[in-house]
Chains A and B, each alone.
Chain A
Amino acid sequence: MENGTDAAYLAYVNGRIPALRRIAYLLSGDEHQADDLVQETITKLYARWPRISAVDNVDAYTHTMLVRAFLDEKRRGWWRVRLFGSPPDHAANVAGIAEDRAMLRGALAKVAPRQQAVLVLRYLCDQSVAEVAEMLGCSEGTVKSQTRHGLDALRKILGEPRSVQRSGGAR
């Protein structure tokens, strides 16, 4: 029985790792942290697999675990230790392009973790308000307010993005 369960787990995980890794990377902005988040998620997923596999929407549950792991890491703060001890991220070394990203990442890092998660899931992972609400275990209204607060915080830090200022004819 366990082998059959393991086979189902392996089939599921192997098929989802690229997507999970992408979400984790978009959330964290760091490949090493992304891999650790996915590793933690699939470990817990395996521990609960015999029960979780019976849930209707396993993807939703797995994504919830991943986002939860991300929020936990933000709360723990010990990732900072790891980041300082890790080799620099590949992308961060690419001159020019990295500058904007680094600035954006820096700004995003100043936003409350839950708001970070909402912004990334909505605008980078293309999740709907309802899907984000499901992942975070909150109401859609909370997602909307978290989005608004998160964007307000980014506006204060960064101002309006240049491309939109031009297209909108703003100053």
Chain B
Amino acid sequence: MNDDEYGTVLLRPLRVEPVGPPQIDVARAMREGRRMRRRRWAFGGGFLAAIVAALVTGSLLIAPAAPHRPVLPPDPPLPKSCTLAALPMGNYHSAEVGGGDSTGRWHFGLSNPVVNTGPQHTLVWHDGALVGDAALPGADVDLTGINSSGVIVGEANDHKTGIRPYVYRNGKFSPLKGGVGQASAVNDAGTIVGRLGDDAHPIPVRWRSPDAEPERLRMPAGGTISYHHLAIAPDGTVAGAVFLRAAGPATESTVTYLWLPDGTARQIPAPPAPRDTRAYLEPLTFRNGWLYAEQVITEKNAGLNVYAIADEQLVRYDPAGGTWQRIDGDKIKGPAQFPPSGRSYGTGGGIRPAVFVGPAVLELPWFMPLADPEVDYARVQSISNDAHTVAGDLNRGGNDPTQPFRPIIWHCE
């Protein structure tokens, strides 16, 4: 018999349909996909351009060079134990955690995260107590960062101007100056970074304070800011990805830039990509002296004639010494989460939630009655710089409002 006959007959018993009810949650896919999208909004014009943008990044890869600075920024010690507690929800039945600050004292979230299940308000927790409950300033609200003073930044559609950068402080939302745009992150000094303009013509900017006028970040010739997410360090250094379109697709590239507090900017080298792949970097956050980024690796799909995303690696860069480190490639595929990455798919089915502390993994306890490891999914949404406070939420998926999101916090020592 020929191969096709053999294969058809041999595998025929496996030609069966799934019999159980599907456990696929489209609403969750949209929520999590939206977070991913926020970080990837602007590749330029269209999908093909987006993929092409990644093509030549590989050719720019430079080997890590830090021969004169063997001392790397230290990671906090891995806590030995953690305890789990619920965060209060006020009168709400359901609430998710959106993020937390570097100290672990401030967190923000959203009531009734599943649409049409109740009023959606921004919730703010301080030292585990619910201290803020504010109506949303518009539609399409996406809050992206909070600092150690409880100042939150993000975006909202005010239905007049469009999607604008917003700031929350002292219990109230207000738009940042500059019109249409988005705010990505705020550091503990109150400096905010984001972009202004529409997706086709984005301009990276920095606001020295919530009331300040925006200052343009100087772009390299021929470059546009490529990704939504811009990270800001405690000293005001900003990291972002820049899309360079020089002379046609063959010379397009996406490179990573640092804008320094003194007004200068410099391109930073990228870590090596696997053989036969192209890669680009998405800056995520500054933490404990490191810039964390996601390295997106693409492989050519000959059939579609595009480079499709094949893998994503969590990496980090020491801006002072120029050293890149890859956070373990296998671990990132496992249950360990890295909150600013938007990679909070959640863990469930008995898998214990875990979070990266530098390259180490902190496993988090969850137990009845707060959590049912058999049916709950845990999302880790923030971890403090000292790794002593971790926050997130539990849910059982689906749009059933009787299965609420439950905000939680781990205290670790």
Contact = CB atoms under 8 A, between A and B. Distances in A.
B7 A101 contact: no
A4 interface: no
Contacts of A160: 1, 6
Interface centre among A44, A47, A161, A168 (most CB of B within 10 A): A47
A122 B6 CA distance: 12
A148 B334 CA distance: 32
B14 to A, nearest CB: 6
Given A90-B20, A161-B10, A164-B6, A2 B303 contact: no
A151 B5 CA distance: 11
B30 A2 contact: no
B9 interface: yes
Contacts of A72: 311, 333
A151 to B, nearest CB: 5
A108 B24 CA distance: 26
Interface centre among B11, B36, B335 (most CB of A within 10 A): B11
Interface stretch (B78-86, B263-271, B345-353, B386-394): B345-353
A151 B3 contact: yes
B29 to A, nearest CB: 4
B43 A104 contact: no
Interface in A31-62: 31-32, 34-35, 38-40, 42-52, 54-55, 57, 60-61
A: interface residue count bin: 35 or more
Interface of B: 1, 3-11, 13-20, 22-26, 28-30, 32-34, 36-37, 40, 43, 46-48, 50, 140, 299-304, 308-311, 330, 333-335, 345, 349-351
A134 B26 contact: no
Contacts of B349: 32, 82, 85-86
Contacts of B330: 76-78
B50 A51 contact: yes
B26 A26 contact: no
B14 A101 contact: yes
Interface in A79-116: 81-82, 85-86, 89-91, 97, 100-101, 104-105, 108
Contacts of A44: 33, 36, 309
17 contacts: A21-B22, A26-B14, A42-B33, A43-B36, A44-B33, A47-B36, A55-B48, A60-B303, A78-B330, A101-B13, A105-B14, A108-B11, A137-B301, A138-B302, A151-B3, A151-B6, A151-B7
Given A130-B303, A137-B304, 15 more contacts: A10-B26, A13-B26, A35-B24, A38-B24, A42-B33, A43-B345, A61-B308, A76-B333, A76-B334, A78-B335, A104-B14, A105-B14, A123-B8, A135-B303, A164-B5
